[in-house]
Amino acid sequence: MAKVELKQPIVQAIADDVKDAASVVLVDYRGLTVAQDTELRKQLREAGIVYKVCKNTMMKRAFEGTDFAALDEHLEGPSAIAISKDDATAPARILCKFAKDAKALELKAGVVEGTVYDSAALTELSKIPSREELLSKLLGSLQSPITNLARVLNQIAEQGGAENCTPAPAEEAAETPAE
């Protein structure tokens, strides 16, 4: 059996993983202890991110004809790949957070939604909150005016109705006609 026949399934597996991926991040994992690597893999797995250590030539072949082909120039030395199909910023966020404690982990580059980012840009990108956090903040800001209105109406009801409430000075000034 030829070597090409042995390598083809591995290249195909990588190509299947990056197909329809929202983001791919390359890292240099040299210097990580076994415990650190295990913890990193656990965090990535819990977030639904595929993390693999692959040969650079196989990744280059798998990236051919995709947006991720721009990562070819960064495929030097030992490389691991983190692939996310759902949350585009999750790999960068988790890897950057982990790299703060594990200085040996080094981000090389990544492609997020078709745009190539270097390690500095990935660090900035990692500061963006997750989709769930952004949605909860949006919901909170949309819900805030309604909540405030409900509180005001509740206070009016507790004081016995609108006729028992005294208007604020700013409202009185707005009601008096200008001379």
pLDDT tens per residue, range 80-119? 999 988 888 888 888 888 888 888 888 888 888 888 888 8
- The pLDDT assigned to 119 comes to 83
The residue type found at 177 is: P
Over residues 3-28, the mean pLDDT reads 85
CB atoms within 10 A of CB 48: 12
Q: Is the pLDDT of residue 1 over 50?
A: no
- The pLDDT assigned to 169 comes to 62
- The pLDDT assigned to 179 comes to 47
For 72, residues 6+ apart whose C-beta sits below 8 A from its C-beta are 60, 63
CB atoms within 10 A of CB 12: 13
Over residues 127-153, the mean pLDDT reads 80
- The pLDDT assigned to 140 comes to 81
State the pLDDT confidence band at 42, using cuts at 50, 70 and 90: very high
Q: Is the pTM of this model over 0.75?
A: no
Which class in CATH covers the domain with range 1-131?
Answer: alpha beta
Q: Across the chain, what does the average pLDDT equal?
A: 82
